[in-house]
Amino acid sequence: MDNEQFYLGFDFSTQSLKVVAVNDHFDVIIEESIKFDDIGKYKTSDGCHINPDGLTVTSPTIMWVDALDIVLGRLLQKGFNFQAVKAISGAGQQHGSVYWKKGAEKVLASLNPSSTLETQLKHCFTLEESPIWMDSSTKKQCKYLEAAVGGSQAMTDLTGSRAYERFTGNQILKVIQNYPEIYQQTERISLVSSFAASLLRGAYCQIDESDGSGMNLMNIKLRDWDETLAKACSPDLQDKLGIPVPTVTVQGSISKYFVERYSFSDTCQIVSFTGDNPSSLAGMKLAKGEVAVSLGSSDVLFLWLENPLAKTEGHIFVNPVDTKAYMALLCFKNGSLTRAAIRDKYAHSDWSHFETLLLNQPRGNNGKIGFYYTIAEIIPDGVEGCYYFDETDQQVEDFADAEHIRAVIESQFLSRRVHAEDMGFELGKDCRVLATGGASNNHAILQVMSDIFNAPVYTQSVANSAALGAAMLAMHAVNVTTDNLSYKERVHDTRNFELVAQPQPDSKQVYDVMAARYRKLEKQAIELHRKQSGQ
């Protein structure tokens, strides 16, 4: 077809670079990827280098540059029609940072299409190894920046998260403190997302507000750098960061390098790249009132929020598809691995027996509530161990097998509910839950989730939601100025949500009471853990 138009979405994730192309109907036309470890020469393991200290984790910046030519080369070999690409966006692992050497933008703007990006850009970075999200070496900087704004809660109120070691501001401060000459030679600092966009643009692209929310540097209400935090790092940091822009922003046309080397059209537009989590929210087509619950090894909640309440245990980002709204990210370590451990102990290591026990036990578990932190939890921070309470809130030694099964699932989803509510999520008639990940195959678990949230639960098969979300954001950004459609209006009809569970009529009555008890007993579980561990 002559007038076919495509949109490309990249995902610069921790272990690989993926790309998908969609057409105007969001059908996936082609996909390609490269695993970083397979590029051999960078000697990465799962895409990164872990320092012997175990805390410092980095990836070679030039490896990401190399990977871009490799995946585009693969698309070329497959005969992909680059001419038809109208716009490109992308996702990047959040928090990672790239340090461009003075003069690098000139090199970016004048790349020779007959040579590779890697050859031409390898001397353009002052730090050859980019700190990434797995790094936890900046405790000192976290303390310093929190103190600069008045403590943990003040940092959370301002930036949406307390100071986290992986968050970019703390990483940048470490570079400033440990390698002042490197900082001095740096003309621009990008996130992985804005760095990747800059490669395609042939000029520095601005950081988008959603990924910028993962830096501990941005005031998420004003959607701009916070003077105090930026200055606490360095008086000239803001000059090196540029200006944050909404995610749905066209940053400019594609660089000549890609036009000449791959036959992209010179009118192809580069749209802001964003973080992988915000991009996934767009890829899952999440809307107001909805929560996505990913039931993988850990459980991760993405909440669409209108009026967020900043809590030190979660993250609030500016929403990528609606700058007046927010998204929250809540990560619970005790997810599927814990469910599987309890299954092994009390349900003969068998999911179908687990489902039978779960469904046969009454809603509300006759008042029994258990806490199952088989590994140290993130929310609540650091709590570990198993604690059981009867219907009168008295601690007990043990439960019957079926009570354990019901208790582990009820307490996990009561926890997801109360912590979501604590961040400002409102359960109500518009509330919908979208379940993804391994345990979303388990209908009995989804029924309990539906009852506890008192909301319908849906599933949807979306592979590569971050890359797909990026392609959809690219399409949205280049069309919104002419057709004025909101993101929701643009994508809503293409949602293939499948209704898999509806709340039982008595669920509100049962679980409102239980949620109130859960809040109280969770405090007791934390206290019991504190006493046991001698803290």
Which spans of this chain sit near ligand XUL (rule: CB under 6 A)?
14, 93-95, 133, 166, 214, 275-277
Q: Helices (H), strands (E): how many in the chain?
A: 20, 24
Pairing of strands 57-60, 129-131: antiparallel
Provide, rounded to whole angstroms, the least separation between the CB of residue 439 and ligand ADP: 4
405 binds ligand ADP (CB under 6 A): no
- The residue among 322, 291, 318 whose CA lies nearest residue 304 is 291
462 binds ligand ADP (CB under 6 A): no
- By beta-carbon proximity to ligand XUL, the closer residue of 302 and 458 is 302
- By beta-carbon proximity to ligand ADP, the closer residue of 179 and 351 is 351
Instruction: Give which of ligand ADP, ligand XUL, none residue 340 binds (C-beta under 5 to 8 Å, depending on kind).
Output: ligand ADP
- By beta-carbon proximity to ligand ADP, the closer residue of 21 and 358 is 358
> How far apart are the C-alpha atoms of 427 and 417, rounded to whole Å?
9
- By beta-carbon proximity to ligand ADP, the closer residue of 126 and 338 is 338
Residues 237 and 218: beta-carbon distance below 8 Å = no
Which residues partner with 18 through β-bridges? 11, 33
Residues 206 and 242: beta-carbon distance below 8 Å = yes
Instruction: Give which of ligand XUL, ligand ADP, none residue 95 binds (C-beta under 5 to 8 Å, depending on kind).
Output: ligand XUL
Q: Is 130 exposed, middle or buried (0-12, 13-18, 19+ CB in 10 A)?
A: buried
Provide, rounded to whole angstroms, the least separation between the CB of residue 466 and ligand XUL: 8
- The residue among 519, 310, 291, 516 whose CA lies nearest residue 424 is 310
456 binds ligand ADP (CB under 6 A): no
- By beta-carbon proximity to ligand ADP, the closer residue of 463 and 485 is 463
337 binds ligand ADP (CB under 6 A): yes
Pairing of strands 28-35, 457-459: unpaired
Which residues partner with 245 through β-bridges? 208
The two three-digit tokens of residue 282, written as one number: 């767009």
437 binds ligand ADP (CB under 6 A): yes
340 binds ligand ADP (CB under 6 A): yes
Provide, rounded to whole angstroms, the least separation between the CB of residue 344 and ligand ADP: 10
336 binds ligand ADP (CB under 6 A): yes
Interacting stretch for ligand ADP, rule CB under 6 A, among 220-228, 262-270, 432-440, 514-522?
Answer: 432-440
Task: Determine if the peptide bond prior to 380 is cis (ω within 30°).
Answer: yes
Instruction: Pick the binder of ligand ADP from 234, 442, 447, 450 (CB under 6 A).
Output: 442
How many binding residues for ligand ADP (CB under 6 A)? 13
Instruction: Pick the binder of ligand ADP from 438, 456, 480, 524 (CB under 6 A).
Output: 438
Instruction: Give which of ligand XUL, ligand ADP, none residue 276 binds (C-beta under 5 to 8 Å, depending on kind).
Output: ligand XUL
> How far apart are the C-alpha atoms of 280 and 396, rounded to whole Å?
42
- By beta-carbon proximity to ligand XUL, the closer residue of 192 and 248 is 192
Cβ partners under 8 Å of residue 512, min gap 6: none
> How far apart are the C-alpha atoms of 182 and 130, rounded to whole Å?
13
Cβ partners under 8 Å of residue 338, min gap 6: 372, 373, 374, 375, 408, 412
- Which secondary-structure segment (H or E) carries 204? none
- Compute the half-sphere exposure of residue 331: CA atoms within 13 Å on the CB side of its CA: 10
Instruction: Give which of ligand ADP, ligand XUL, none residue 193 binds (C-beta under 5 to 8 Å, depending on kind).
Output: none
- By beta-carbon proximity to ligand XUL, the closer residue of 434 and 526 is 434
- By beta-carbon proximity to ligand XUL, the closer residue of 329 and 526 is 329
Instruction: Give which of ligand ADP, ligand XUL, none residue 336 binds (C-beta under 5 to 8 Å, depending on kind).
Output: ligand ADP
Site for ligand ADP in 287-316 (CB under 6 A): 296-297
- The residue among 247, 321, 284 whose CA lies nearest residue 92 is 247
Instruction: Give which of ligand XUL, ligand ADP, none residue 47 binds (C-beta under 5 to 8 Å, depending on kind).
Output: none
- The residue among 12, 473, 26, 3 whose CA lies nearest residue 269 is 473
Q: What is the binding site for ligand ADP (CB under 6 A)?
A: 296-297, 336-337, 339-340, 351, 437-439, 441-442, 445
